[in-house]
Amino acid sequence: MSRRRSALSRRVLWAAVGAGAVTVGRVAGPPLVRAVAAFRVREIEVLGARQFSPRAVAAALRLRPRASVFDATAPLAERVKALPGVLEVRIERRLPGTLRVVVREAEPVAFVPAARGGSLLPVDARGTLLPFDPARTPLDLPIAVTADSNVLGVLALVQAVDAGLYQEITVARRLTRGDVALELGSRRVLVGRDAGPEVIQAVALVAQDLAAKKRPYAELDARYAGQVVVRRRAGAAGAEQARGPGA
């Protein structure tokens, strides 16, 4: 019983010290609070990082010696946000001595060939190269023949609308007038550069319907308003059948 009372007393004491520190900070100003040894940073929690290791995120903070949890967090957040591939950063104080760093990373949408060849590099929807290590978190991404904005935009759209269809894409390339061809093994899907979510949904529905009926196809052409044209041979002049988004 005495041990429980002792532990409870310590928790109450820390709570009181924390509340007092906040009050003093408001009245006397941050320097007085930052000088208190009890509030030196002793632990860093990293949340939301998948491609970056917690160690890399913590190192990016570049904390000063004897840093305090009451140091300004905005400069720390900017340092982490400077890491390529980090979109947003939020830093929270958890008294008495912990900083929690919450990050949101860019979503890789494709691999693109390196400028000098020989390797594939992950990029986001804007074509920004992401320094993610595939050895840390294996990436299963389609290959974009070039880092074309239309191609990457369509891939990002498919990724957001239908993850199953996205996982089937092996290669994506630009066509004339900016349209995009998505290769799904031996089949392909043609999509206009200005395609919206409803187009991707229609393609997915048609593909599922054909699979359920065990009807082979070589090409789904979704570049026409309100319909998906199904072809038995890719690039054939005549369509085998046409279906609307609700088919």
* Model confidence pLDDT, tens digit, residues 120-170: 889 999 998 888 876 677 889 999 999 999 999 999 999 999 999 999 999
Please tell me if the domain spanning 2-105 has the same topology as the one spanning 110-243: no
Count of helix runs (H) and strand runs (E) in the chain: 7, 12
**The pLDDT value given to residue 6:** 41
Does residue 80 register a pLDDT over 60? Answer: yes
- Asked whether 181 and 189 are in contact (CB, 8 A), the reply is yes
pTM above 0.85, yes or no: no
Alpha-helical runs (H) found in the chain: 2-28, 30-34, 54-61, 74-81, 149-161, 163-168, 197-212
CATH superfamily, domain 2-105, is membrane protein fhac (3.10.20.310)
**Which tokens in the block code for residue 241?**
């059948």
Report the pLDDT averaged over residues 75-87: 93
Omega before 75 cis (within 30°)?
no
Encode pLDDT of 98-129 as tens digits: 999 999 999 999 999 987 766 888 999 999 88
State how far Cα 37 lies from the chain centre: 38
We find that the CATH architecture of domain 110-243 is 3-Layer(aba) Sandwich (3.40)
Does residue 82 register a pLDDT over 90? Answer: yes
Q: Are strands 219-224 and 187-191 parallel, antiparallel or unpaired?
A: parallel
**The pLDDT value given to residue 22:** 43
Q: Residue ranges per domain, the chain?
A: 2-105, 110-243
Cα separation, 226 vs 217, in Å, equals 20
Report which secondary-structure segment, H or E, holds 184: strand 180-184
Report the range of poorest mean pLDDT among 43-57, 69-83, 126-140.
126-140
